Amino acid sequence: MTPKSAAAASKPATRPRATVHGYPRQGSGRELKKAVEGYWRGRVTADALRETAAGLRRDNWQQLRNAGVREVPTGDFSLYDHVLDTTVMVGAVPERHRAAVEADALDGYFAMARGTQDVAPLEMTKWFDTNYHYLVSELGPDTVFAANSAKQTGELSEAVAQGHDARPVLVGPVTYLLLAKPAPGVAPDFEPLTLLDRLLPVYAEVLADLRAAGAGWVQLDEPALAADRTPAELNAAARAYRELGGLTDRPELLVASYFDRLGDALPVLAKAPVEGLAMDFTGPAVANLEDLARAGGLPGKRLVAGVVDGRNVWINDLKKSLSTLASLLGFADRVDVAPSCSLLHVPLDAALERDVDPQVARWLAFARQKAEEVVALATGLGEGTDVIAGLLHANSSALAARSSAALTRDPAVRARTEAVTDADGRRTTPYQERAAAQRARLKLPLLPTTTIGSFPQTGELRAARADLRAGRLDAEGYDKRIAAEIRDVLAFQEEAGLDVLVHGEPERNDMVQYFAERLDGYIATQHGWVQSYGTRYVRPPILAGDVSRPGPMTVEWTRYAQSQTGRPVKGMLTGPVTMLAWSFVRDDQPQAETARQVALALRDEVADLESAGTAVIQVDEPALRETLPLRTESRPEYLAWATESFRLATGAVRADTQIHTHMCYAEFGDIVSAIVDLDADVISLEAARSHMQVADELATAGYPNEVGPGVYDIHSPRVPDVDEVASLLRKGLAAIPAERLWVNPDCGLKTRGWPEVREALEHMVEAARTVRAEA
């Protein structure tokens, strides 16, 4: 098909609708968290929990309806996680949870999510490149699926009874299988996707049930198709939608993708006998626009166009979106308007923010405002821009104010980033020479021991922070407590015999928030909660403007800590990539530019720490791997700015100042060359759970600098004994020579309790001594 001419396409045949793929679940006062946690503690009954949940759904639908959204999603709500809900829907409850689920569906559900005394929970992992975590289903050749549509049909019926035109949203079968992993005891190379033929009849049954319950349309989310896929996986997708599309007793099907372009999956879905596609046209997924043109559009289909970014907190450029929408009109039978993905990833309502500067508040759009934006766009598209002239005017003036505001245009910051040269990001001496200088200065033993930074965040520390906020404790009193904690942490480390000490980070609420509060350009919210997993919600800071450092952020406490001990104390900073990844980042300039600003602010902090006598400085980058773009084609560019910003933060130090970095995961195959590129003197990584495989991988990749593969798994309260740690260390030594091997835990200790930390670190030091003696 050739797209219709712009003139012919300017008025759509069918009136565009505004819709959303999903909405925040928690409620304006995080009522869901309170109800679920109350239920776990036995303070809230199951009925009361269900009632709260139903009330939140009712409010959400009403809020959408009031905004003018005429087709609301159902089934996107969850008491814990929508992927876990899908596991229940297809009957894929792991063997070990069967009894609990049969005894009580609700308790069994939470047992899968959180585990019980005797049974481990499902594993949790990140939902694509977002900060939401889902529960990974466990499948094997013996998995038997069985349809259980109750949650889906129930929520649809609620919405219908409340007078809404509703569209159930399900995780699609291909994505469900691609996100699953082999069950324990199943061959690790088992591919869940081989279960597709068994799973499709279950989806067929659910679709029939939903139709019977009144669904005109059902949305099947297939974000996994927006990542690189093999021909076999694309074939599976083609088969899945041929089969589901071929069913007779079914609602109309809308297959949704988001987070990146559909790429090779686009022709597959375009050919499939489904009635509609929802596609993302924001961020890297704008490429979908060209791809659609090249593919000849979606003749005969409905296109739900995701033109409002569902992952950031900024107002949309309505004019630009209208022009995107106008060009899409020629490509499909009917074009509707939506955010790019579920609004689960943004806070609920920007209007709740009373403390944000009103100037900046005009630039913000949370879920509720985004719903209003898609309504305005659908109206403008259907009835002409005159109808929304007032909104368009307000929108352009807010955008103009934003782009010329002092907050977003700091001449000093701009001049400085422009002047950056490649040499600024390179240490002037090669690693070999640095290592010699550092050895001479630090005089560490072979296999030096250290920790990752934080020590247990005790109840007393949290209480002191709460007291400070509430005015029950003054700044001086608070500082006294922090100082006392630092002294205790140092005394313990000296006693235990650690070689490079840390101050324990007692003054930090959170490794990103702490710095965001001390940098210009960041703003904080009061109610900007987003779900991280289950009942855990976080309030990411908003990186709204040009970033600069009004003054030192960590020097005082680091200097204090160093004054208490003769051993080296590591300075501890959060790296630029992580400072971006765990915030909402401005969308009015490339991330590379923003990262460079943060890097320069950190560079000054690093310099100040060095001048204060800090010989070892760690810059954590746990987010470097997790924000890796979904598609390989976008990765080189990302890794280039990510590594550049780290080097810019750390590159100016003297040869005898030792730079450490830390990352919290074992799967970094995709970024080994980037890790080499960071040129940190020492990197510590998670490795205990993967039995030091990391050390082998780094050795194979020819990693030239020093490595501390974690020998103590801090994610579990279990205390490893000396032999266990020693044998992990010997494994590490088989891959990395003793001169370049460090001994440390997997990650920070803030979530652990003191008794176990004490014992585990003593064992770690003892194991290092044992293995040292053998070397």
Q: Which residues are catalytic?
A: 715
532 vs 540: CA distance, rounded Å: 10
| # residues contacting ligand GLN (CB under 6 A) | 13
Q: How far is the CB of 367 from ligand GLN (least distance, A)?
A: 27
73 vs 88: CA distance, rounded Å: 19
461 vs 708: CA distance, rounded Å: 29
| b/e per residue 226-246 (b: at least 16 CB within 10 A) | bbebeeebbebbbbbbebbee
Which residue's entry shows tokens 């003297």?
654
Instruction: Judge contact between 740 and 709, C-beta under 8 A.
Output: no
Terminal C-alpha separation, the chain = 72
Q: How far is the CB of 533 from Zn ion (least distance, A)?
A: 17
Residue 188 CA to its chain's centroid (Å): 26
Angle between helices 722-735 and 693-700 (to 10 degrees): 10
**Does 659 carry a binding-site annotation?**
no
20 or 512: CB nearest ligand GLN: 512
Q: What is the DSSP-derived secondary structure letter of residue 273?
A: S
Question: Pairing relation of β-strands 616-620 and 658-663?
Answer: parallel
**Does 32 carry a binding-site annotation?**
yes
Least Cα distance to 269 among 258, 282, 284, 254 occurs for: 254
- x-or-dash string of contact with Zn ion, 603-632, rule CB under 5 A: -------------------x----------
- CB under 6 A: which stretch of 208-216, 480-488, 596-604, 745-753 binds ligand GLN? 745-753
Instruction: Judge contact between 574 and 515, C-beta under 8 A.
Output: yes
Q: How far is the CB of 116 from ligand GLN (least distance, A)?
A: 27
305 or 663: CB nearest Zn ion: 663
- CB under 6 A: which stretch of 246-254, 314-322, 367-375, 744-752 binds ligand GLN? 744-752
Residue from the set 237, 305, 511, 767 that interacts with ligand GLN by CB under 6 A: 511
273 or 717: CB nearest Zn ion: 717
Residues for the chain: how many in total? 775
Q: Cα Rg for the chain, rounded, in angstroms?
A: 27
Q: How far is the CB of 685 from ligand GLN (least distance, A)?
A: 10
- x-or-dash string of contact with ligand GLN, 423-462, rule CB under 6 A: -----------------------------xxx--------
Site membership for Zn ion, residue 747 (CB under 5 A) = yes
484 vs 507: CA distance, rounded Å: 11
Which of Zn ion, ligand GLN, none sits in contact with 97, Cβ below 5 to 8 A by type? Answer: none
413 or 663: CB nearest ligand GLN: 663
Could you tell me the two tokens for 166? 């509703």
Helix, strand, coil abundance in the chain, percent, nearest 5: 50, 15, 40
Query: Which phi and psi (to 5°) does residue 444 adopt?
Result: -90, 155
- CB under 6 A: which stretch of 146-154, 626-634, 635-643, 743-751 binds ligand GLN? 743-751
Least Cα distance to 331 among 303, 359, 304, 367 occurs for: 303
Instruction: Judge contact between 336 and 305, C-beta under 8 A.
Output: yes
Instruction: Judge contact between 90 and 143, C-beta under 8 A.
Output: no
**Does 126 carry a binding-site annotation?**
yes
Residue from the set 543, 664, 726, 764 that interacts with Zn ion by CB under 5 A: 664
425 or 571: CB nearest ligand GLN: 571
152 vs 219: CA distance, rounded Å: 12
Residue from the set 334, 662, 740, 752 that interacts with ligand GLN by CB under 6 A: 662
- CB under 6 A: which stretch of 491-499, 608-616, 670-678, 747-755 binds ligand GLN? 747-755
Question: Pairing relation of β-strands 332-339 and 520-523?
Answer: unpaired
Query: Among residue numbers 565 through 584, which ones bind ligand GLN (CB under 6 A)?
Result: 572
664 or 757: CB nearest Zn ion: 664
At position 646, the amino acid (one-letter code) is F
Which of Zn ion, ligand GLN, none sits in contact with 572, Cβ below 5 to 8 A by type? Answer: ligand GLN
Q: How far is the CB of 565 from ligand GLN (least distance, A)?
A: 18
Q: How far is the CB of 750 from ligand GLN (least distance, A)?
A: 5
Could you tell me the two tokens for 438? 């550092």
410 or 499: CB nearest ligand GLN: 499
Site membership for ligand GLN, residue 750 (CB under 6 A) = yes
575 vs 620: CA distance, rounded Å: 5
Site membership for ligand GLN, residue 680 (CB under 6 A) = no
Site membership for ligand GLN, residue 709 (CB under 6 A) = no
Site membership for ligand GLN, residue 747 (CB under 6 A) = yes
Instruction: Judge contact between 22 and 310, C-beta under 8 A.
Output: no
Residues making up the annotated binding site for 5-methyltetrahydropteroyltri-L-glutamate are 30-33, 126, 131, 582, 626
Residues making up the annotated binding site are 30-33, 126, 131, 452-454, 505, 582, 620, 626, 662, 664, 677, 686, 747
Binding footprint of Zn ion on the chain (CB under 5 A): 622, 664, 747
Binding footprint of ligand GLN on the chain (CB under 6 A): 452-454, 505, 511, 572, 620, 622, 662, 664, 747-748, 750
